[in-house]
Amino acid sequence: MTHYIPVTDADRAEMLKAIGVERIEDLFVDVPESHRFPPLKLSPPLSEPELMAELHRLSELNAHARRYSIFLGAGAYHHFVPAAVDQILRRGEYYTAYTPYQPEISQGTLQAIFEYQSLICALTGMEIANASHYDGATALAESAIMALNVARNRRKIVVARGVNPQYRAVLRTYLQGLDVEIVGDETPDASIADALNQVDEQTALLIVQNPDFLGRLRDLRGLGAQVQARGALLAVHFDPIALGLFQTPAEAGADIATGEGQPLGLGLAFGGPYLGIFTTRQKYVHKIAGRIVGVTKDVDGRMAYVLTLRAREQDIRRERATSNICTNQGLMALASAVYLSLMGKRGMRTVAEITYQRAHYAARRIAALPGYRVLDDQPFFREFVVQCPRPVAEINAALRAQGIIGGYDLSADEPQLGHAMLVAVTEMNSPAEIDRFVAALAAI
């Protein structure tokens, strides 16, 4: 009846007999009779070729990077994904395995996660990383929960305006039951110094993002010490590609550093699955949420990997766990480990350089257009704000007709900037594509 179910009718008859019931329905007598076997109103099933045709049809109703030039970022970036990354992800040994609770037959997953943790530590300069969260937003929210557990009795979180507005929304969702005050992002022009000024003896954590949501690079050196002097922790939300060139969260003195790992070989995927990167200091290892892989030996003395420090987790500690997280983004952590291994130190630096250079090239060209203004008074990395002569929605509609997905419309998040577009440029935007984008803007 279906090609995924290998039990034949003859098997079924034999098995029912062994069980001691006559019909399959007899196995469901515990289900209240009036609720048993409800009809399901679903579309009739499709064969595999029919289904693939329908999937093709649906997928081609979407714009995508093979048909459009993408200058949209705002938390999801069109970076290069080496073919080798997906070839590893397609290995059934990885993607059809469960969480590595049986270490003797899960050394592949465990070693890959250990290497992921190690690569992330190298990239960020931080001391320890866990095996991942759902995405950058939830990693950031978990940083607040961890800080509240470290700085007990402190019930305030200060979050800078420069943190991605969706992330700030998730932070508020996560903490709504916990009697915690979240401040710091009310004023549009608030600087990091302004946010720091709100860190007081009630504050558990200051959260900043670098580069910030508008793409601006901040000099955060010394910030950690200033925050810690007030008895609070500092969390820096970083961009993993920017770390190919720019200051690490460790250099900022961060106690916690979180990131969205999507640019590390994951593709856009209409928003997920992505990768929540979470790192902290060694001294907080018992406060961290989620899974962690460590090294040990087997009884024969062979080096081996294992999930460790498990007493923090929900299946052991239940309501006293550091978080409820169980399933994470393991396969995406593998993808980023493969990506970082392929890139290495030279590749990461190069991708960051091309991104930086092309973004600045695009910004210069756009700034020269009449009616457009680029906010470039501060250094930026990949994204920059363009103030436009007309509403961004209108401009983007015109760009669409030319096969271009324009930048993020800031009118809802940062209305004080006027008709402002957040433009993202990566190594995937060729100079010719940038020129076409600029010409299209000029023609609107």
Partner 1 sequence: MNNEELPIFTYSQPGKIGVNLPDASVETTPLPADLLRQDDLAGLPELTEPEVIRHFTRISQRNYSIDTGFYPLGSCTMKYNPKLHEEAARLPGFAAAHPLQDEALSQGALQLMYELQRDLAEISGFDAVSLQPAAGAQGELTGILVFRAYHRDRGDTQRTEVLVPDSAHGTNPATAAMVGLKVVELKSDARGNVDLEDLKAKLSPRTAGMMLTNPNTLGLFEEHIVEICRLVHEAGGLMYGDGANFNAILGIAKPGELGFDFMHYNLHKTFTTPHGGGGPGSGAVGCTAALAPYLPGPRVRQREDGRYEFFTPEKSIGRMKAFHGNFGMLVRAWTYIRSMGAAGLRKVSETAVLNANYVRVMLKDIYPQAVDRICMHEVVLRGQIAGAPKDVRALDIAKRLIDYGFHPPTIYFPLIVPEALMIEPTETESKQTLDRFIATMRQIAGEAIETPEVLHAAPTKAPVRRLDEVRAARQPILRYDAAAISRLQSES
Q: Residue 13 Cβ, how far from partner 1 at the closest point, in Å?
A: 11
Tokens of 27: 């196995």
Q: Residue 415 Cβ, how far from partner 1 at the closest point, in Å?
A: 18
Q: Which is nearer to partner 1, 354 or 442 (CB)?
A: 354
Residues 182-201 that bind partner 1 (CB under 8 A): none
Residues 72-111 that bind partner 1 (CB under 8 A): 72, 74-76, 78, 80, 82, 84, 86-88, 90-100, 102-109, 111
- Contact between 400 and partner 1 (CB under 8 A)? yes
- Contact between 398 and partner 1 (CB under 8 A)? no
Q: Residue 5 Cβ, how far from partner 1 at the closest point, in Å?
A: 5
How deeply is 347 buried, as exposed, middle or buried, from its count of CB atoms within 10 A (0-12, 13-18, 19+)? middle
Rounded CA gap, 102 and 304, in Å?
12
CB 208 within 8 A of CB 238: no
Q: Which is nearer to partner 1, 231 or 272 (CB)?
A: 272
Identity of the amino acid at 129 = A
- Contact between 341 and partner 1 (CB under 8 A)? yes
- Contact between 149 and partner 1 (CB under 8 A)? no
How many residues touch partner 1 under the rule CB under 8 A: the total is: 209
Q: Which is nearer to partner 1, 177 or 370 (CB)?
A: 177
Residues 421-440 that bind partner 1 (CB under 8 A): 427, 430-431, 434
The SS3 assignment for 403 reads coil
Residues 41-60 that bind partner 1 (CB under 8 A): 41-46, 48, 51-52, 54-60
CB 238 within 8 A of CB 276: no
Q: Which is nearer to partner 1, 152 or 320 (CB)?
A: 320
Rounded CA gap, 320 and 193, in Å?
36
Q: Residue 72 Cβ, how far from partner 1 at the closest point, in Å?
A: 5
CA–chain centroid gap for 226, Å, is: 28
How deeply is 78 buried, as exposed, middle or buried, from its count of CB atoms within 10 A (0-12, 13-18, 19+)? buried
Residues 301-340 that bind partner 1 (CB under 8 A): 301-304, 306, 308-310, 313-321, 323-332, 334, 337-338, 340
Which residues are within 8 A (CB) of 336 and not within 5 positions of it... i.e. 6 or more apart?
116, 119, 120, 240, 261, 264, 265, 266, 275
DSSP string, 108-141: HHHHHHHHHHHHHHHHH--SEE-S-BSSHHHHHH
- Contact between 33 and partner 1 (CB under 8 A)? no
Nearest to 132 by CA among 329, 271, 337: 329
Kindly tell me which residue out of 219, 375, 387, 417 binds partner 1, with binding defined by CB under 8 A.
219
Residues 262-291 that bind partner 1 (CB under 8 A): 267-274, 282, 285, 291
Taking the CB of residue 346, how many other CB atoms lie within 10 A of it? 9
Kindly tell me which residue out of 119, 144, 264, 444 binds partner 1, with binding defined by CB under 8 A.
119
Tokens of 330: 């393991």
Q: Which is nearer to partner 1, 78 or 161 (CB)?
A: 78
Rounded CA gap, 278 and 312, in Å?
15
Kindly tell me which residue out of 22, 62, 152, 401 binds partner 1, with binding defined by CB under 8 A.
62
Q: Residue 366 Cβ, how far from partner 1 at the closest point, in Å?
A: 13
Residues 358-377 that bind partner 1 (CB under 8 A): 358, 360-361, 364
Residues 124-143 that bind partner 1 (CB under 8 A): 125, 127-129, 131-132, 134-138
Residues 1-30 that bind partner 1 (CB under 8 A): 1-2, 4-8, 11-12, 14-16, 18-21, 24, 27-30
Tokens of 221: 């050196």
* Contact region with partner 1 (CB under 8 A), list: 185-193, 194-202, 237-245, 367-375: 237-245
Q: Which is nearer to partner 1, 297 or 390 (CB)?
A: 297
Identity of the amino acid at 346 = R
Q: Which is nearer to partner 1, 107 or 228 (CB)?
A: 107
- Contact between 238 and partner 1 (CB under 8 A)? no
Q: Which is nearer to partner 1, 230 or 271 (CB)?
A: 271
Q: Residue 201 Cβ, how far from partner 1 at the closest point, in Å?
A: 22
CA–chain centroid gap for 404, Å, is: 25
Cis peptide before 165 (omega within 30 of 0): no
DSSP string, 155-203: -EEEE-TTS-HHHHHHHHHHHTTS--EEES-SSTT--HHHHHHT--TTE
